[in-house]
Amino acid sequence: MAALNGSANFTGRAGYPAVASRSPNVPATTPPYDTGLGYPVSAPAPPRLPGANLDLGFLASASVMSSPPAGVPLTAGGIGSVAGSASAAAAGGADDLDPDFEEMVSDLRRSFVGWLKKTEAEVRQQRSDGRRGRQAFEEEKLSVWQQFMAEKQREVEKIREDRRRAEEETAAQLRQVQADVEEARRRINEERSRVEQEGAQRRRAVAHEYEKFRQEYGLFEAERQRIVNPQLAAEATVDLNVGGTVFETARSTLVQQSGSFLESLLSGRYQVSRDRYGRLFLDRDPEHFRTILNFLRNPQTPPMPRDGAESEALVREASFYGIHFFPFPLVFACGGHDGYEHLRAMEVLDVGNQCWRPCRAMGTERTYFGAASLRSRLHVFGGQNLDYKALCELEVYDCLRDQWESGASMRHPRRNCAAVELDGRVYAVGGFDGSKIVGSVEAYDSRLRSWMPVDPLPTPRSSAMACAQGGKLWVLGGTSGTRLRTVDVFDPRAGRWESSKAEMSEVRSAGQAACCVNHVFALGGTDNEQNIHFSMECMDPDEQAFAMRQPMQESRMDFAAAVISDSIMVGGGQNGSVLSATEFYRPEMDEWQAGPSMNIPRYGHQYLLCAL
């Protein structure tokens, strides 16, 4: 006991001495404990026993005073050994140790062992937590790395996609530039071709005018040199025996219409017949000549025949003399539809005043009918009326008398038929009879006043276009279930049809055809896609080939056309709205110009020309 309390004598529990201070060989705190996680963990100091103010450092003093044998570890068992050695030493030194001391040592040993186990459990828990933390860290690091790589891959894909889009846009822009270049080149070529064509046309027009002037000049010189009767050419008053009736009139009255037979008769360039009294003699009807002479004396008032027979005879007589009762050709707009109702109304073009004037209406409302003029008479036939019924009736208009009269009905009712006059006959070609498209053709003979059948079309057609050229009847386009571009030709001498090798450049139905300056023109109409055409094409019958010409100013279908001198007039029709405007085309110049609008907009109508 003297060794245990050699430093000082303090009274401990139960009167036993307590350790006054720690041994200098025992650290103040427990050394760090290696957890195996890469960082040390400090173990907590051993707890004090309850109710005792003992410092556990005395164990170190006891260890110094009684060291364990060599090779014995300082563990929980070692501590027990130390405590046992201390107890033995104490027992050896004083066999009368108090049992309370042994109990205290035993309690200390149990407390220390418990503390050590608890510390070991905490260290193991910390090691487990460290491993889990490290695993979580590795997992998080892997997740972050994967996210980083995924983001990087997305950026790479985005860069690739942007590059691909940029390359596609560049390629598209390059293709567009190439297309624009090709389009510009095409337009330049078309413009060059158009300019060259216009230049060629103008050169042809100038050459034509020059040739015309040269021929007129040559004829003038020839006629001037051919005067065989200077006395007749110089007479101011003329005695004229017509069919046994003598007429005396001023020379100026007879020669006022240039180019007439009477003007040539009195020119002195021709040998003339004379009666036994030396007067000019003409073996013609004196009554008709009297009417014509009265008109020449008062040209503002056309003659008014009593009936149709007199009208026809007077027109034939005036044609022999080369006399015209009107200063301009008469163009009549007949029938049709104004968008609200079928029309009977008719109007005539006043060429001098550039306007349209109303005239006597037809007897029957008609739309999509056939029409043709024959001398001084207009013939309208077929079509449909208010009941949308296909008609077969014929009406004839006497332009000189301003009267309508009924004519012989056709053999078959038809609407949307083509019509044309050829060699004194009026032809009705194809059409629709109310149930089917027909290929039948019939011709009206004005002398017999009846219709007769003609060889049928090779291809039945409705809404076709027709005109006469070179003694033949040309039928173009139309529809036979699908709209056509083909051409059929009828030779009245052979009495049969042939299919032409020429085909139009565009499909056309419900258009118009016209013959002008020995060429066939096809205008307007509609195609299989319901497109309404502006275009016009021209065919030279000798070459049997169509070529495009300057298009109309407005697209048109179901319109009307007529040839006036060396021009083509078109008017009316529809292109989404019903039209009243007219246009004039000059083939020599290949140009269009606007004409006077009709009083009534109309489609499904006809233009008829009468040079009276």
Using pLDDT thresholds of 50, 70 and 90, give the confidence band for residue 93.
very low
User: Does residue 563 surpass a pLDDT of 90?
Assistant: yes
Please give the pLDDT value at position 97.
58
User: Does residue 487 surpass a pLDDT of 90?
Assistant: yes
Q: Clarify whether residues 474 and 400 are in a common domain.
A: yes
Q: CA angle, corner 511, sides to 564 and 571, nearest 5?
A: 45
Contact 439, 460 (CB under 8 A): yes
Q: Is residue 140 part of a domain?
A: yes
Of residues 458, 454, 377, 369, the one with CA closest to residue 419: 369
Number of domains in the chain: 3
List helix spans (H) across 226-323.
230-234, 251-254, 261-265, 286-297, 308-321
The secondary structure of 100-167, three-state, reads HHHHHHHHHHHHHHHHHHHHHHHHHHHHHHHHHHHHHHHHHHHHHHHHHHHHHHHHHHHHHHHHHHHH
Which of 193, 221, 246 marks a domain boundary? 193
Of residues 247, 338, 325, 356, the one with CA closest to residue 582: 356
Q: What is the mean pLDDT of residues 248-255?
A: 90
Q: Could you give the CA distance from residue 566 to residue 514 in angstroms, rounded to a whole number?
A: 11
Q: Could you give the CA distance from residue 179 to residue 185 in angstroms, rounded to a whole number?
A: 10
Minimum mean pLDDT range among 28-42, 88-102, 196-210, 577-591 = 28-42
Q: What percent of the chain stands above pLDDT 70?
A: 82
Contact 598, 356 (CB under 8 A): yes
Of residues 516, 513, 538, the one with CA closest to residue 524: 513
Specify the pTM. Answer: 0.65
Using pLDDT thresholds of 50, 70 and 90, give the confidence band for residue 205.
confident
pLDDT tens across 510-553, in order?
999 999 999 999 999 999 999 999 999 999 988 889 999 999 99
Kindly provide the b/e burial profile for residues 348-364, where b requires at least 16 CB atoms within 10 angstroms of the residue's own CB: bbebeeeebeebeebeb
Using pLDDT thresholds of 50, 70 and 90, give the confidence band for residue 565.
confident
Q: Could you give the CA distance from residue 383 to residue 445 in angstroms, rounded to a whole number?
A: 20
Q: Clarify whether residues 250 and 176 are in a common domain.
A: no
Q: Is residue 491 part of a domain?
A: yes
Using pLDDT thresholds of 50, 70 and 90, give the confidence band for residue 3.
very low
Please give the pLDDT value at position 151.
92
User: Does residue 39 surpass a pLDDT of 90?
Assistant: no
Q: Clarify whether residues 317 and 335 are in a common domain.
A: no
Q: Clarify whether residues 98 and 178 are in a common domain.
A: yes
User: Does residue 60 surpass a pLDDT of 70?
Assistant: no
CATH of residue 256's domain is 3.30.710.10
Q: CA angle, corner 510, sides to 591 and 548, nearest 5?
A: 35
pLDDT tens across 283-313, in order?
999 999 999 999 999 999 999 999 989 999 9
Q: What is the mean pLDDT of residues 205-231?
A: 74
Q: Clarify whether residues 452 and 570 are in a common domain.
A: yes
Q: Clarify whether residues 170 and 128 are in a common domain.
A: yes
Q: Is residue 210 part of a domain?
A: no
Residues in the chain: 612
Q: What is the mean pLDDT of residues 591-598?
A: 96
Which of 177, 193, 209 marks a domain boundary? 193
Using pLDDT thresholds of 50, 70 and 90, give the confidence band for residue 271.
confident
Q: Is residue 583 part of a domain?
A: yes
Q: Clarify whether residues 293 and 365 are in a common domain.
A: no
Domain span at residue 127?
1-193
Contact 504, 551 (CB under 8 A): no
The torsion defined by the Cα of 278, 280, 284 and 287, in degrees rounded to 10, comes to -90
Pairing relationship of beta strands 545-549 and 403-407 according to DSSP bridges: unpaired
Contact 433, 475 (CB under 8 A): no
Minimum mean pLDDT range among 56-65, 154-163, 437-446 = 56-65
Q: Hey, what are 246's tokens?
A: 């003598």
Q: Hey, what are 399's tokens?
A: 């332009």
Q: Clarify whether residues 435 and 379 are in a common domain.
A: yes
Please give the pLDDT value at position 100.
87
Q: What is the mean pLDDT of residues 382-395?
A: 93
Please give the pLDDT value at position 233.
64
Q: Clarify whether residues 420 and 530 are in a common domain.
A: yes
Of residues 409, 457, 411, the one with CA closest to residue 437: 457
User: Does residue 27 surpass a pLDDT of 70?
Assistant: no
User: Does residue 76 surpass a pLDDT of 90?
Assistant: no
Q: Could you give the CA distance from residue 419 to residue 562 in angstroms, rounded to a whole number?
A: 13
Q: Clarify whether residues 263 and 187 are in a common domain.
A: no
The separation between the first and the last C-alpha atoms of the chain, rounded to the nearest angstrom, is 169
Q: Which strand (E) or helix (H) includes residue 88?
A: helix 76-93
Q: Is residue 221 part of a domain?
A: no
> Which one is predicted more confidently, 142 or 233?
142
Q: What percent of the chain stands above pLDDT 90?
A: 63
User: Does residue 225 surpass a pLDDT of 80?
Assistant: no
Q: Could you give the CA distance from residue 41 to residue 31 in angstroms, rounded to a whole number?
A: 9
pLDDT tens across 490-513, in order?
999 999 999 999 999 999 999 999
Q: What is the mean pLDDT of residues 366-377?
A: 95
Q: What is the mean pLDDT of residues 428-454?
A: 95
Please give the pLDDT value at position 212.
82
What angle do the packed helices 308-321 and 286-297 form, to 10 degrees? 70
Of residues 605, 457, 465, 483, the one with CA closest to residue 522: 465
Contact residues for 311 (Cβ-Cβ < 8 A; gap 6+): 305, 376, 398, 400, 401
Q: Could you give the CA distance from residue 327 to residue 305 in angstroms, rounded to a whole number?
A: 19
Pairing relationship of beta strands 17-18 and 10-11 according to DSSP bridges: antiparallel
Q: Is residue 87 part of a domain?
A: yes
What angle do the packed helices 99-225 and 76-93 form, to 10 degrees? 160
Q: Is residue 284 part of a domain?
A: yes
Contact 370, 380 (CB under 8 A): yes
Q: Clarify whether residues 316 and 367 are in a common domain.
A: no
Q: Clarify whether residues 311 and 355 are in a common domain.
A: no
Coil vs helix vs strand at 199? helix
Which of 175, 193, 211 marks a domain boundary? 193
Q: Is residue 258 part of a domain?
A: yes
